[in-house]
Amino acid sequence: MKAVKLLLVLVFALVPFSSAFAAEKSLDAYFPMDIDEHWAYAEMEDLINADIVDGFLNSDNEMYVKPKENITRAQFVKIIVTALGLKADGAGVTFPDVKTGVWYSEPIQIASSLGIIEGAPDGTFGPNKNITRAEMTKVIVKSFEKTIQFPASGGKTFTDVDAKYWAAEFISKAAAAEIVNGYGKEFKPKNLASRAEAMVMIHRALHQEQSNLPADEAIKAFLTDHIKRENAIVEAGKFEELAALYEENGTGYYRAEGLELGGAMFPGEEEEVTITIEDENLNLEILGKADRFVTVEATGMMITVVYKSDGFNMDFTTEMDGIYDLKKDPVTGDWKIYSYYPLFEEEEFYE
């Protein structure tokens, strides 16, 4: 279960919400109903939080990822283009079965212009055909060949991938870069890929990009400024300013959560809320980074909340340690926060 931002849990849920800002996607779109305990849960959740993968919302606004279903060629290309923020380099290939204006026409045009994808011998692309594991691996390697140094050799070999097989080179490179593992000694290249397999491969590739790493100092400066501005706004009770801050520095799940739960919130006439945050000892540690993604642990802060009303009083102090996930905006190049997880046990909080 996704953790909710600590300040919002402790304070903002006490009062109604209204805001001049609105997220493009509601929080419901970030809470999959069908991936709990799945072997690829962490990777799928991370891509959903970062707005790289969209699920399927039903009429009840419940979101499903459908991890066991096969993924189509068009769906896979769209995720790749979104993940890398790719832009067209030329007109691309015109496929007779890719009609202008459909949801996948632009991603396919972009990918074909960059030489990432090719059509069938008859000139079609087959957007609605399910993609095989071999086809998917080729697209992965060609998409990341400029940002990942794929080893020429040394990768895992598979008994069902002959050296003369058309995708042997791509499978070997992806295995050497630890983007694919296979099934024991087999790769099963002709098997249709599942949505979970596709997401895991893309997630691994994104975190193997090490050619243009951000400086630790720049990441820490950005996050320190954000956290201290957030704390000052909360202490001053200027909750209407929080939405603007999340709009400025957030994206994906973090932004949607902030706009929905952290906007213009005010105590009622019979309520009084006092918040004090000690952040002089704020410490940030980079836990992992790639060209486009960074994970940071924030420690050393304490929050004291005093809530008074006619029917309920609350007074407590707790730590504010947590994990921030950031990604580089593909358009502006700015770093954005896309998720935050407080480091506390819910059971301890409610005791």
3-state secondary structure 13-57: HHCCCECCCCCCCCHHHHCECCCCCCCCHHHHHHHHHCCCCCCEE
Q: What are 285-321's pLDDT values in tens digits?
A: 999 999 999 999 999 999 998 888 887 888 889 899 9
Kindly list the distances between the CA atom of residue 279 and the CA atoms of 230, 274, 282, 331, 338, in Å, as whole numbers in the listed order: 11, 16, 5, 32, 22
Alpha carbon 29 to chain centroid distance?
12
Tell me the C-alpha distance between 80 and 127, whole Å: 14
Tell me the C-alpha distance between 254 and 183, whole Å: 35
- Domain spans of the chain, in order of start: 6-26+213-350, 28-206
Burial class (CB in 10 A: 0-12, 13-18, 19+), 204: middle
pLDDT of residue 1: 35
pTM over 0.85: yes
* Predicted confidence (pLDDT) at residue 15 exceeds the cutoff of 60: no
Tell me the C-alpha distance between 181 and 39, whole Å: 14
pLDDT of residue 267: 57
Question: Which residues make Cβ contacts (< 8 Å) with residue 183, sequence separation at least 6?
Answer: none
Tell me the C-alpha distance between 342 and 296, whole Å: 12
Q: What are 123-157's pLDDT values in tens digits?
A: 999 999 999 999 999 999 999 999 999 987 767 88
Side chain identity, residue 197: E
Confidence of residue 8 (pLDDT cuts 50, 70, 90): very low
Q: Which of 20-34, 66-80, 166-180, 182-196 has the lowest mean pLDDT?
A: 20-34
Mean pLDDT calculated for residue range 5-34 = 61
* Predicted confidence (pLDDT) at residue 20 exceeds the cutoff of 50: no
* Predicted confidence (pLDDT) at residue 202 exceeds the cutoff of 90: yes
Give 293-331 as a DSSP string.
EEEEEEES-EEEEEEEESS-EEEEEEE--EEEEEEE-TT
Q: What are 214-235's pLDDT values in tens digits?
A: 999 999 999 999 999 999 998 8
Confidence of residue 268 (pLDDT cuts 50, 70, 90): low
pLDDT of residue 5: 43
Question: Which sign does the torsion angle of CA 110, 101, 132, 54 carry?
Answer: positive
**In sequence order, which ranges of 181-295 are alpha helices (DSSP H)?**
195-206, 216-236, 240-249, 252-261
* Predicted confidence (pLDDT) at residue 47 exceeds the cutoff of 80: yes
pLDDT of residue 345: 56
β-pairing, 56-57 with 63-64?
antiparallel
6-26+213-350 in CATH: which number?
3.10.450
Tell me the C-alpha distance between 205 and 220, whole Å: 24
